[in-house]
Amino acid sequence: MKTNFITLVGLFLISASITAQQETIEIEKSKILVESVLSAEEQAALTPNDVLNSLAAGNERFVSNDLTARDHSMQIRESAASQYPKAIVLSCVDSRVPVEDVFDKGIGDIFVARVAGNFINDDILGSMEFATKVAGAKLILVMGHENCGAIHAAIDGAKLGHITKMLKNIKPAVKMSTVSEGPRNSKNRLLVHEVSENNVKLAISKITKDSAVLREMLAKGDIDIKGAVYDMDTGVVNFL
Q: What is the mean pLDDT of residues 112-125?
A: 98
Indicate the pLDDT class of residue 47, thresholds 50, 70 and 90: very high
Is residue 115 within 8 Å of 199, Cβ to Cβ? no
Beta bridge partners of 114: 91
Tens-place pLDDT, residues 137-170: 999 999 999 999 999 999 999 999 999 999 999 9
Check residue 11 and report its DSSP letter: H
Is residue 100 within 8 Å of 106, Cβ to Cβ? yes
| Pairwise CA distance, residues 200 & 166, whole Å | 16
Tens-place pLDDT, residues 198-217: 999 999 999 999 999 999 99
For the chain, state the CA radius of gyration: 23
CA proximity to 203, closest of 135, 131, 133, 115: 115
Indicate the pLDDT class of residue 85, thresholds 50, 70 and 90: very high
Q: What is the mean pLDDT of residues 224-230?
A: 98
- pTM for this predicted structure: 0.81
Q: Alpha carbon of 55 to those of 102, 176, 193, 238, 240: distances in Å?
A: 9, 29, 22, 11, 14
pLDDT of residue 81 exceeding 70: no
pLDDT for the residue numbered 1: 43
What is the third-level CATH fold of 34-239? Beta-carbonic Anhydrase; Chain A (3.40.1050)
